[in-house]
């Protein structure tokens, strides 16, 4: 059975406020939409993913989804049902998982249960019991609503694609808040599977704070260190953190001898336990001869993000008697932040001399040390 994840992200997020539609707001360093898509795309039972976005949201969506294979973005409509319809029309697979972009954390176990149910049912949805008393309100508290047999219904919801399409064709009511409403009206048998509190939808302003707190407990912080040295030879300039710094001597080495980017790349690889720069970019490989070191950093960042890592911070100390780093510090920070997709506050560059001692003191070369802080953790 082939399964497509269809993530609807064409809403305006009016209740959440915050200036930008909630699906593009950052959560633990990543846009909400990216969390939602990544959670489904990396599930082994999901072969492809497509995203429905609002008119005029192309730029935000492309930035949020960079590097993820989601094909062509699909344009949604005014109501959620219009967006789902547009999405269903664009996909071809046996099954579909329709998911709200506003539910960033989808545990793989929920998808396992949904997919398993499709063997026996045309649809399946994650549900949770209601813990609080339910009541109607008027001007004051009205009649309680019995809660036995009542559940809260979440997304993603799994359906056999043909059955859901047919149900939507017959649906003529107002835009529903999910697909089970449409499926039930068409007489489809929809299984319930256990939902998960992590799937709570971001709807109101306070929901973001709660989600941040939840993330803080779910992710594991780790740190990596990197160190690199290149010797001076020939004429300058030197390249530090991708920035040309005027100097009477240059640095020699495989690639462009950018000690700063090499140390940071190694620190990132180290934080994720992914080996070292020499392993990923062997000096013996002609492809990397004279290569811009920004390629190494980009590659390391991609590897980390593929593994669901959030890069919180990188800090680098450049050890050299000369050239002076101070005047170039901000340019270097900005350049590294640009390559790594970080904000400038997440990148720190410092410099020191060794008081004339050692090889850096004798002005034989430049060394750099870096530390990277990341958080990782897949939601089980």
The residues binding Mg ion (CB under 5 A) are: 11
Q: Which stretch binds ligand CTP (CB under 6 A): 15-23, 130-138, 161-169, 216-224?
A: 15-23
Please say which residue, 103 or 328, places its beta carbon nearer to ligand CTP. 103
- # residues contacting ligand CTP (CB under 6 A): 23
Q: Which does 201 bind (CB under 5 to 8 A by kind): Mg ion, ligand CTP, none?
A: ligand CTP
Please say which residue, 178 or 256, places its beta carbon nearer to ligand CTP. 178
Alpha carbons 178 and 190: distance in angstroms, whole number: 13
Alpha carbons 191 and 193: distance in angstroms, whole number: 7
Select the residue whose beta carbon is closest to ligand CTP and give its number: 11
Please say which residue, 203 or 298, places its beta carbon nearer to ligand CTP. 203
> Under a CB-based contact definition with an 8 Å cutoff, are residues 363 and 232 in contact?
yes
Alpha carbons 302 and 290: distance in angstroms, whole number: 21
CA proximity to 87, closest of 125, 54, 127: 54
Give the nearest distance from C-beta 201 to Mg ion in angstroms: 10
Buried/exposed code over 364-376 (b: 16+ C-beta within 10 A; e: otherwise): ebbbbbbbbbbbb
Q: Is 100 in the site for ligand CTP (CB under 6 A)?
A: yes
Dig out the tokens for 127 from the structure: 């549900």
> Under a CB-based contact definition with an 8 Å cutoff, are residues 91 and 50 in contact?
yes
Q: Is 83 in the site for ligand CTP (CB under 6 A)?
A: yes
Considering only 101, 106, 211, 301, the residue that binds ligand CTP (CB under 6 A) is 101
> Under a CB-based contact definition with an 8 Å cutoff, are residues 7 and 51 in contact?
yes
CA proximity to 88, closest of 37, 146, 163: 163
Please, which of residues 168-207 interact with ligand CTP by CB under 6 A?
201, 203
Considering only 3, 5, 6, 11, the residue that binds ligand CTP (CB under 6 A) is 11
Dig out the tokens for 268 from the structure: 């990132």
Give the nearest distance from C-beta 74 to ligand CTP in angstroms: 10
Report the DSSP beta bridge partners of residue 233: 250
Binding mask 19-58 for ligand CTP (x = CB under 6 A): --x-x----------------------------x------
Give the nearest distance from C-beta 36 to ligand CTP in angstroms: 8
Buried/exposed code over 65-76 (b: 16+ C-beta within 10 A; e: otherwise): beebebeebbbb
Q: Is 10 in the site for ligand CTP (CB under 6 A)?
A: yes
Report the interface residues with ligand CTP, using CB under 6 A. Answer: 8-16, 21, 23, 52, 76-80, 83, 100-102, 201, 203
């Amino acid at each position: 059975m082939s399964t497509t994840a269809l993530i609807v992200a064409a809403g305006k997020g009016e209740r959440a406020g915050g200036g930008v539609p909630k699906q593009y707001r950052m959560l633990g360093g990543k846009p909400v939409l990216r969390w939602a898509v990544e959670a489904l795309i990396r599930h082994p039972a999901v072969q492809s993913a497509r995203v429905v976005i609002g008119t005029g949201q192309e730029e935000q969506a492309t930035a949020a989804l960079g590097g993820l294979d989601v094909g062509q973005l699909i344009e949604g409509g005014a109501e959620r049902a219009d967006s789902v319809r547009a999405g269903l029309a664009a996909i071809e697979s046996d099954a579909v998982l329709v998911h709200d972009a506003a539910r960033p954390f989808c545990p793989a176990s929920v998808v396992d249960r949904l997919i398993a149910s499709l063997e026996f049912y045309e649809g399946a949805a994650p549900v949770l019991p209601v813990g609080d008393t339910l009541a109607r309100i008027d001007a004051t508290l009205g009649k309680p609503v019995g809660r036995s047999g009542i559940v809260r219904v979440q997304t993603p919801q799994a359906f056999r694609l043909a059955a859901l399409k047919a149900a939507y064709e017959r649906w003529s009511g107002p835009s529903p808040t999910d697909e089970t409403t449409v499926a039930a009206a068409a007489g489809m048998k929809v299984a319930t599977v256990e939902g998960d509190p992590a799937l709570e939808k971001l709807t109101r302003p306070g929901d973001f704070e709660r989600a941040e707190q939840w993330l803080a407990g779910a992710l594991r912080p780790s740190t990596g260190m990197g160190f690199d040295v290149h010797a001076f030879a020939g004429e300058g300039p030197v390249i530090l953190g991708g920035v040309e710094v005027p100097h009477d001597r240059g640095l020699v080495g495989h690639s462009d001898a950018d000690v700063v980017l090499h140390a940071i790349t190694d620190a990132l690889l180290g934080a994720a336990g992914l080996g070292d720069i020499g392993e990923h970019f062997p000096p013996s490989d002609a492809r990397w001869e004279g290569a811009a070191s920004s390629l190494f950093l980009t590659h390391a960042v991609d590897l980390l993000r593929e593994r669901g890592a959030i890069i919180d911070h990188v800090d680098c100390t450049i050890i050299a008697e000369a050239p002076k780093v101070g005047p170039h510090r901000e340019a270097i920070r900005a350049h590294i932040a640009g390559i790594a997709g970080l904000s400038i506050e997440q990148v720190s560059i410092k410099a020191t001399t060794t008081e004339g001692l050692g090889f850096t003191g004798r002005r034989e070369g430049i060394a750099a040390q870096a530390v990277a802080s990341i958080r990782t953790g897949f939601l089980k």
